[in-house]
Structure formats: C-alpha cells, structure tokens
Amino acid sequence: MTAIVAIIGRPNVGKSTLFNRLVGKKLALVDDRPGVTRDRREGEASLGHLRFNVIDTAGLEEADKDSLLGRMRAQTETAIAQADVILFMIDARLGLTPMDQPFADLVRKSGKPVILLANKAEGKKGLDGIFESYALGLGDPVPFSAEHGEGTSDLLEALAPFV
C-alpha cells in the first residue's frame, strides 16, 4: 500500500507550493465535483527515494466566507482521516496566527503522526516563528522552504518511517 501524506494548514502558508514541488509534472486532478472536492488535489509524490500519495487542501476561490470556512474544515477533516501521516505547515515568517489553531486542533485530535513544517524559513529567516511554533504541541518544527527547496533532506528523514 502506498502511504498517504496530507498537507494541512491555514491558507497561504505554502501548502500548494510544496505539493507542486513533490508532485512535479505528475499532477492528477482526482475529483471536480463542485462544492465537494474542488480545491482538493491528490498526486503521486517523490522525495529522494520515497514514493507516496500526497493530498493538498483548501483553496480560496469562493466568495462566500461562511461556506468557504465550512468547506475548508470539511476538506481538512477528510484529508486528515485518509492520511497515514500529516504535514502541518505554518508560515515561520509570520509566526503563529489565530487561524493556525483550528487546523492544529483537528490534527491533534486525530492522533495521527504529524511533522511540523515551519515554511518560508529560507536563509535562516523566520527564527522567531520557528520558536513560537513549539507552542502548537505538534513536536519539533522542521525549518523549511517549499519555494526554495531548503529543508527537504530533513523532511525526507522525518517522513521515511511513515511511508
């Protein structure tokens, strides 16, 4: 069985950037039923020698805030339920924001293995945010940059036991 890795976090932390990096050209849209899985993307990922399926979550293309938040939550819960391991992403430059908490709560509640990725930390940026993120109680943060590909060997090492 191929392991499923879900990328979870509030909007704009860099989830899709990581997804694109992991999936490269092999991107496969799996389901376009409106209102159900519109923002959800799933693909075959490769990272070093590891191969796994990765799920990206929660786009922001819909205007209606209430239904948007509901959908983001539902989509996040579904992805967490399907995942063997979760990549929980924060923006290390901004540090923790109130919007990170509900996503972190869902992850914690699941009891599934989680790797905390402190993204946007290229070139030693975001050190304050990295320290703040210990407060989430999701383990030690992995400094990371989805855009610049920094921290990928640490991510590989963290993921290897689960995939």
State the nearest-atom distance from the C-beta of 147 to ligand GDP, in Å.
3
* CB 15, min distance to ligand GDP, A: 3
* Residue among 19 and 52 whose Cβ is closer to ligand GDP: 19
Q: How many CB atoms lie under 10 A from the CB of residue 154? A: 14
Q: Does 119 bind ligand GDP (CB under 6 A)?
A: yes
CA angle 38, 111, 51 (to 5 degrees): 60
Supply the minimum distance, in Å, between the C-beta of residue 156 and Mg ion: 22
Instruction: Please name the helix (run of DSSP H) or strand (run of DSSP E) that holds residue 116, with its range, or none.
Output: strand 114-119
Minimum CB separation of residue 27 from Mg ion in Å reads 13
**Measured at CB, which residue is nearest to ligand GDP?**
14
Cα separation, 52 vs 24, in Å, equals 13
By CB under 6 A, is residue 152 in contact with ligand GDP? no
Q: How far apart are CA 89 and CA 120, in angstroms?
A: 10
Using rule CB under 5 A, residue 37 touches Mg ion: no
Characterise 58 by phi-psi region: left (phi > 0), alpha (psi -120 to 50), beta (else). Answer: left
Residue 16 interacting with Mg ion (CB under 5 A):
yes
The 3 state secondary structure assigned to 65-104 is HHHHHHHHHHHHHHHHHHCCEEEEEEECCCCCCCCHHHHH
User: How many CB atoms within 10 Å of residue 101?
Assistant: 12
40 binds ligand GDP (CB under 6 A): no
By CB under 6 A, name the one of 6, 8, 15, 142 that touches ligand GDP: 15
- Using the rule CB under 6 A, give the single segment among 44-52, 72-80, 107-115, 145-153 that binds ligand GDP: 145-153
Distance CA 89, CA 102 (A): 13
- Measured from the CB atom, the residue of 19 and 162 that comes closer to ligand GDP is 19
**Interface residue list for ligand GDP (CB under 6 A):** 9, 11-17, 119-120, 122, 145-148
Q: Known binding site for GTP: residues? A: 9-16, 56-60, 119-122
